[in-house]
Amino acid sequence: MMKYLLTISLILLLAACGPAGGEETSSSPSIYIENKGSDTLVNLALAWTERYQSMHPEVRLSVTGGGSGTGIAALMNNTVDIANASRKIKQEEIDMATSNGFIPIEFIVARDAIGIIVNHENPVNQLTMQQLADIFTGRIDNWAEVGGNDLQIVRVSRETNSGTHVYFLEVVIRLGSSESMDIFARDTLLLPSSEGIIAEVRDNPHAIGYDGLGYITDEVKVIAIAMDDQSAYILPSVETVNEGSYPIARDLYMYTPGEPPAPVKDYITWILSPAGQELVRELGFVPITP
């Protein structure tokens, strides 16, 4: 009889605890979305995630960086819900995804300018696109050749897995020519993060680097860029990107493995809404809507 009463007591105790446990389960995230890729986009993606999850507690979003190449590789293998990229997906990557049974779907989620940065002690204030190409290929190796001090140039770049690296190679070093085989000079210092580039340029009077507009701080000097020596020299800003006058500007992307399911589509739709695009402006990038 005592064992029976103990058993009944235990059942009642567990039943009493049941509603509390059920409430925790019902309030826990039931939708999981994995978002991986571009380091340029990672801070913006984290801001979107935090804001969206505060409005949709049923959704859990995971954001990791690693570079556009990392995100697109995961996309091609269909192991991520959203791949962030600071460059456009390549045809061979689309072909590989297609061979895996799906076609990547592209969403332009923001715009960005690539600012050219130097140390504050550097007297150079402007460069043409051709001068930039010559500097980063090593054809120009001393600041005196472009009106600066007699100092050897130290070139600083993101690593090769970075979409920003690929974009800079194609648009600046190769000047948009598909026939050009120019590459970064062999002594270019490759760094894993935008913050690392800022730190190196800040501390090194020899250095020149590039970074997304949303990552540039007052610790470095931004150089005005012209298409050629007959054109106006333009500084990067939201306004000059929207006007189309700054020559090193690009779209930022999210890719999904095929048509996204409803929770992912809802999230991206919110990113493209005025609320999502306001965060783009707050973080120093360029909204895709006025």
Residue pLDDT, tens place only, 79-95:
999 999 999 999 999 99
Tell me what the mean pLDDT of segment 106-122 comes to.
Answer: 97
Q: Phi and psi at residue 194, in whole multiples of 5°?
A: -65, -40
Give the tokens for residue 28: 């826990």
Q: Give the model's pLDDT for residue 1.
A: 37
Q: Let me know if domain 112-249 sits in CATH 3.40.250.10.
A: no
State the average pLDDT for the chain: 90
Whole-number Å distance between alpha carbons of 48 and 234: 30
Model pLDDT for residues 35-70, shown as the tens digit of each residue: 999 999 999 999 999 999 999 999 999 999 999 999
Q: Do domains 31-111+251-282 and 112-249 have the same CATH topology?
A: yes
Q: Give the model's pLDDT for residue 179.
A: 94
pTM of the model: 0.81
Give the tokens for residue 221: 């000097």
Residues in the chain: 290
For the chain, domain boundaries? 31-111+251-282, 112-249
Whole-number Å distance between alpha carbons of 193 and 210: 11
Name the band, by pLDDT with cuts 50, 70 and 90, for residue 18. very low
Whole-number Å distance between alpha carbons of 110 and 108: 6
Residues 164-176 as b or e (16 or more Cβ within 10 Å = b): bbbbbbbbbbbee
For 31-111+251-282, the fitting CATH number among 3.30.830.10, 3.50.50.60, 3.90.850.10, 3.40.190.10 is 3.40.190.10
What ranges make up the beta strands (E) of the chain? Answer: 31-37, 59-66, 82-85, 104-118, 126-128, 154-158, 189-191, 207-212, 221-226, 249-257
Q: Phi and psi at residue 229, in whole multiples of 5°?
A: -75, 0
Q: Give the model's pLDDT for residue 12.
A: 35
Residue 193 has pLDDT above 80, yes or no: yes
Q: Which residues, other chains included, contact 188 with Cβ-Cβ below 8 Å and sequence gap of 6+?
A: 136, 155, 156, 157
- Helix/strand/coil for 238: helix
